[in-house]
């Protein structure tokens, strides 16, 4: 039984150390956020149409302005002229992840 306790303690330490060292890929985190929160209306990938015709594909955003311009809006909550788009306020780490993903679409 004593050995089992040591194994559990070792596994817990390995998990904590591994979690602290292995940061999630910000590009994947940004894509996952967009897939969960935006893909219902916007095309979030390099190809394909937006499910909502009026919603611009995210791959085109960099053609309209530098995607970094979205940082403040994502921090304060994007407000648009149509009522169907929810207002989302993101933390700085998620803003950086979304911007990193949008850069992959350029």
The string of pLDDT tens digits covering residues 19-33 is: 444 568 999 999 999
- Supply the pLDDT for residue 24: 83
Query: Which range of residues forms the domain containing residue 77?
Result: 24-104
Tell me if 90 is assigned to some domain: yes
The CATH number for 46's domain is: 1.10.760.10
pTM of the model: 0.74
Q: C-alpha angle with apex 60: 65 to 56, nearest 5 degrees? A: 105
In a domain, 2, yes or no: no
Length of the chain: 106
- Distance (Å, whole) CA 74 – CA 19: 27
Cβ neighbors of 86 (< 8 A, separation 6 or more) are 37
Kindly state whether residue 19 falls inside one of the protein's structural domains.
Answer: no
pLDDT for 22 equals 53
For 51-102, what is each residue's pLDDT tens digit?
Answer: 999 999 999 999 999 999 999 989 998 877 677 788 888 999 999 999 999 9
Give domain status of residue 45, yes or no: yes
Q: Check whether 17 has a pLDDT greater than 80.
A: no
Count: domains in the chain = 1
In a domain, 44, yes or no: yes
Residue 80, in any domain of the structure: yes
Give the whole-number percent of the chain exceeding pLDDT 90.
62
Is 52 a domain residue?
yes
């Amino acid at each position: 039984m004593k050995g089992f306790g040591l194994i559990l303690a070792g596994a817990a330490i390995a998990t904590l150390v591994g979690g602290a060292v292995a940061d999630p890929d910000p590009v994947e985190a940004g894509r996952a956020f967009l897939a969960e929160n935006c893909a219902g209306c916007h095309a979030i990938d390099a190809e394909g149409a937006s499910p909502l015709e009026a919603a611009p594909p995210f791959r085109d955003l960099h053609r309209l302005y530098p995607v970094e311009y979205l940082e403040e809006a994502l921090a304060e909550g994007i407000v648009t002229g149509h009522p169907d788009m929810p207002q989302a306020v993101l933390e700085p780490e998620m803003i950086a992840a979304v911007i990193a993903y949008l850069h992959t679409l350029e």
